[in-house]
C-alpha cells in the first residue's frame, strides 16, 4: 500500500520566493496534518484538517503560511514570501479517524527538506 506521498523531497529557494509543498494522504484517511521539524524546536504541528476542513491552525507561524485541502487526496502548504528562518523539514501525516472510534494513529510522509537562502 502506498503511504503518505510528499513532493518535492528537497527544495532550495531564495528569500522572498514562493514555496509550495504538496501532500497526498493515505487513501481512506480522514485527517491530514502538516508538521515542521527543526533542531531547535523539534516537531511542531502547523495545521490539521479533518474531512478536508481546517480544524486547528494555531501552529501556523504567521500570515506568510497558508494551507489548503481541496479534496480528500491532496493538500498544499504554501509559504509566501519565504525567509531563511523557514528552513526546516516539513512533514505531512495522515490518520484514519472514524465516526465510532479512533486511536489517532498518525502516519508520516517522507518529508520535504526546505532550504531558503
Partner 1 sequence: QKEVEQNSGPLSVPEGAIASLNCTYSDRGSQSFFWYRQYSGKSPELIMSIYSNGDKEDGRFTAQLNKASQYVSLLIRDSQPSDSATYLCAVNRGRYGGATNKLIFGTGTLLAVQP
Tell me, letter by letter, the H, E, C secondary structure of the chain: CCCCEEECCEEEECCCCCEEEEEECCCCCCEEEEEEEECCCEEEEEEEEECCEEEECCCCCCCCEEEEEEECCEEEEEECCCCHHHCEEEEEEEECCCCCCCCCCCEECCCEEEEEC
- Residue 94 as a binder of partner 1 (CB under 8 A): the answer is no
- Stretch of residues binding partner 1 (CB under 8 A), selected from 14-22, 40-48, 66-74, 75-83: 40-48
- Residue 105 as a binder of partner 1 (CB under 8 A): the answer is yes
- Residue 106 as a binder of partner 1 (CB under 8 A): the answer is yes
- Residue 90 as a binder of partner 1 (CB under 8 A): the answer is no
Figure out which of the listed residues 1, 62, 71, 104 binds partner 1, where binding follows CB under 8 A. 104
Restricting to residues 3-22, name those near partner 1 by CB under 8 A.
none
Figure out which of the listed residues 22, 73, 76, 110 binds partner 1, where binding follows CB under 8 A. 110
Bridge partners (DSSP) of residue 36 are 44, 90
State the residues that interact with partner 1 by CB under 8 A: 30-31, 33, 42-43, 45, 48, 50, 55-56, 91, 95, 97-99, 101-111
Amino acid at each position: 500500500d502506498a503511504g503518505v506521498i510528499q513532493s518535492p523531497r528537497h527544495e532550495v529557494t531564495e528569500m522572498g520566493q514562493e514555496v509550495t509543498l504538496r501532500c497526498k494522504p493515505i487513501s481512506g484517511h480522514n485527517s491530514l496534518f502538516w508538521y515542521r521539524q527543526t533542531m531547535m524546536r523539534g516537531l511542531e504541528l502547523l495545521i490539521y484538517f479533518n474531512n478536508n476542513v481546517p480544524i486547528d491552525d494555531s501552529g501556523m507561524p504567521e500570515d506568510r503560511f497558508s494551507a489548503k485541502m481541496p479534496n480528500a487526496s491532496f493538500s498544499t502548504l504554501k509559504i509566501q514570501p519565504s525567509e531563511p528562518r523557514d528552513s526546516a523539514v516539513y512533514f505531512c501525516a495522515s490518520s484514519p479517524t472514524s465516526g465510532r472510534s479512533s486511536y489517532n494513529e498518525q502516519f508520516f510522509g517522507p518529508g520535504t527538506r526546505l532550504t531558503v537562502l
